[in-house]
Amino acid sequence: MSTATPRPLAVSSRGPLKGRVTVPGDKSISHRSLMFSALAVGESRVEGLLEGEDVLATAAAMRAMGATITRGEDGVWTINGVGVGGLLQPEGALDMGNSGTSTRLLMGLVASHPITVTFTGDASLSSRPMGRAIEPLSQMGAEITASPGGRLPLMLRGINPAVPITYTLPVASAQVKSAVLLAGLNTPGITRVIEPVPTRDHSERMLKGFGAELTVEDSPEGKIISIRGEAELKPQHIVVPGDPSSAGFWMVAASIVPGSDITIANVCMNPTRTGLIQALRMMGASIEEVDSREVGGEPVADLRVRHAPLKAIEVPPELAPSMIDEYPILFVAASVAEGRTVARGAHELRVKESDRIATMRAALEANGVVLEEFDDGLAITGTGGAPIPGGGAAVSKLDHRIAMSMTVAGLAAAAPIAIDDVAPVQTSYPAFFDVLDSLTA
């Protein structure tokens, strides 16, 4: 995995970004495509799957639990599922690598199957809190023994039949929501999740597409998502739309490097994912949607992004769930905006692949950016369009989004930024540096 060999890289400005880029398949949808196909009865096909380390960890885990998963020479993946209830006891521990999504969603799946699974991960993943998934899954009857602080490695003994619950999410987390819904798939009766703050809804959309009986209702407490268990999933042909989180790096790069004009093709525009676009537009970014359409049950568009002077904003905290993975790159945009951008209400950043508030603060500060750290975010005083000073180090802390964000910062810096390790980009965007080369050729 990406921990193996660190890859240092010094990034300097390369001039304007020009041309057209197709971003890789959405990571959230890719994980779910493999998991749900592996639980369907029969053969599913997935086009445009993200072939990053995180998703490959999910593929390996589903194989270890009985699914047959192959990649054709045309890049189309074929999955023969075992059926809901049919997951097999894996022989060894499941290595989740760097992937929180794989871990929490698979904990949910295993919880209602009569198998016992040990989950392990890299140093980053082993420092992240799993208590948020352990709590509801224990209520459903799973027995979970975790490392101190509710961390990996952990052992989960699933139960069949599990107990259906109604669970109100204490944190805005699509992973926890999905863990409970996936446990509900093989649980008799109705399992409900109440979501006070909306988060990405790919599980809901896709489970319906696979034929599960799933309903979403609005209530004063929030969205109530109900799934009827002992579901039968029907195999699907899935076309994975492009990842808006990966697109975010190019949106910001083109916005902040003078003379840039790019088109990012096939970006998933699901409203639970477009917070960065909203925030950048508030800052004055030029992002034009071209050819809006639907792909695989998700809204999709091509985005034309041209350089534009950015102005500081107060980032509305209610946008947080729809741009939670995009704060690191938003901090880079804020670093060259005119004025002081304040982004708060994003506590969750502290428990991602790294503490993304502290990691970005250190990396930007070392490169001359003026900022202030809060428990739940950063305030950043931008250069007003001038290059950021650069010339410092950036420590990526096994966090792909830090490595990519600081690369983009380097494109807008007066002196090179020395990133200690960009190998983590493999988790979500293996072609990132090839695309950068093509846009700056």
Ligand X SMILES: C=C(OP(=O)(O)O)C(=O)O
Q: Which does 28 bind (CB under 5 to 8 A by kind): ligand S3P, ligand X, none?
A: ligand S3P
Residue from 353, 354, 421, 436 touching ligand X (CB under 6 A): that is 353
| Active-site annotation holds for 95 | no
400 touches ligand S3P (CB under 6 A): no
Q: Which does 353 bind (CB under 5 to 8 A by kind): ligand X, ligand S3P, none?
A: ligand X
Residue from 100, 248, 382, 390 touching ligand X (CB under 6 A): that is 100
* Calpha distance 414→389 (Å, rounded): 5
E strands of 121-173, at which residues?
143-147, 151-157, 166-168
Maximum C-alpha span of the chain: 61
Cβ nearer to ligand S3P, comparing 150 with 416: 150
- Which alpha helices (DSSP H) does 112-186 contain, by range? 131-139, 174-185
- Which alpha helices (DSSP H) does 312-351 contain, by range? 327-336
Stretch that binds ligand X, among 15-23, 37-45, 98-106, 188-196 (CB under 6 A): 98-106
Helix (H, G, I), strand (E, B) or coil at 202: helix
- 404 closest CA partner among 370, 368, 354: 354
Note whether 355 and 374 are within 8 A (CB): no
128 is in an annotated binding site: yes
State the nearest-atom distance from the C-beta of 5 to ligand S3P, in Å.
24
- Which alpha helices (DSSP H) does 6-115 contain, by range? 27-39, 53-64, 100-111
State the nearest-atom distance from the C-beta of 200 to ligand X, in Å.
11
In the window 172-231, what residues touch ligand S3P (CB under 6 A)? Answer: 173-175, 178, 200
261 is in an annotated binding site: no
Q: Which does 401 bind (CB under 5 to 8 A by kind): ligand S3P, ligand X, none?
A: ligand X
* Calpha distance 274→201 (Å, rounded): 12
Stretch that binds ligand X, among 65-73, 82-90, 96-104, 385-393 (CB under 6 A): 96-104
* Calpha distance 324→122 (Å, rounded): 22
Helix (H, G, I), strand (E, B) or coil at 344: coil
Backbone angles phi, psi at 100, to 5 degrees: -65, -40
190-195 vs 222-228, strand pairing mode: antiparallel
148 CB contacts (<8 Å, ≥6 apart)?
none
Residue from 122, 195, 201, 348 touching ligand S3P (CB under 6 A): that is 348
Q: Site map for ligand S3P, 301-340, x if CB under 6 A?
A: -----------------------xx---------------
In the window 393-412, what residues touch ligand X (CB under 6 A)? Answer: 401
* Calpha distance 243→435 (Å, rounded): 14
Residue from 30, 44, 99, 396 touching ligand X (CB under 6 A): that is 99
Cβ nearer to ligand S3P, comparing 40 with 174: 174
In the annotated binding site for phosphoenolpyruvate, the residues are: 27, 100, 128, 175, 356, 401
List interacting residues with ligand X (CB under 6 A). Answer: 27, 54, 99-101, 325, 352-353, 401, 428
Enzyme catalytic residues: 325
